Amino acid sequence: MRIKRTIFCSFSLAVFLTSATFSQAQSGFSLPIEFGQGIIFKPGVDPYTFSAQLHPSLGFGDKFTIGGSMAGVYTNPDWAFMWGGRLAFHLAKLSKKPIGAGPGIDYGTLHFVGTVLLENGKLRRTAGGLILDIWDGTLQISPRAGYDDRLERPFLEVTLGTNLFAK
């Protein structure tokens, strides 16, 4: 299992280094809130997971955002409160060119995100994925994959959220 974590950390570092040439991360304080649903790859009748997450964050320059994470997580049949940290690295600006002549319309940004959540002081969940941030934080869609250390199983989750302090 350490090999999988090492590969995940190496991939995260590689994405950070390549994304350092891009810009447009939000500077200053932000407060994203997300609600997610997913599946845990474990045997059983209902491998369902749900999460509600709050990420108070600070954007530094135009490259990355760092912050804390608080989450209420349901993994059938248990509820857990978790806390930890989150990093988001800017990958690209999304824009649409008009049919005729004219400037492009910027409608969103794409970020790589990694989250570590602890429960009772022990590592519980690590996850990585993408954030599609549309209209300056008004809507955030985030597919992500992760590993739950207590269940010893991987999971997939999709979250919808918003930035409570969007521009």
Which band of pLDDT confidence, cut at 50, 70 and 90, is reported for residue 3?
low
- pLDDT at 159 > cutoff 50: yes
Residues 32, 75 contacting (CB under 8 angstroms): no
Q: Using one digit for the tens of pLDDT, what is the confidence trace for 10-68?
A: 444 444 433 333 334 457 888 999 999 999 987 776 788 999 999 999 988 767 889 99
Average pLDDT over residues 68-91: 91
Q: Using one digit for the tens of pLDDT, what is the confidence trace for 72-82?
A: 999 888 899 99
Token readout for 16 is 């950070």
Q: What is the pLDDT at residue 150?
A: 86
Q: Using one digit for the tens of pLDDT, what is the confidence trace for 108-144?
A: 888 899 999 999 888 999 999 988 888 777 889 999 9
Q: What is the pLDDT at residue 56?
A: 94
Which band of pLDDT confidence, cut at 50, 70 and 90, is reported for residue 161?
very high
Q: What is the pLDDT at residue 134?
A: 83
* Cβ count within 10 A of residue 69: 22
Q: What is the pLDDT at residue 133?
A: 85
3-state secondary structure of 14: helix
Question: CATH topology for 2-161?
Answer: Porin (2.40.160)
* Cβ count within 10 A of residue 37: 14
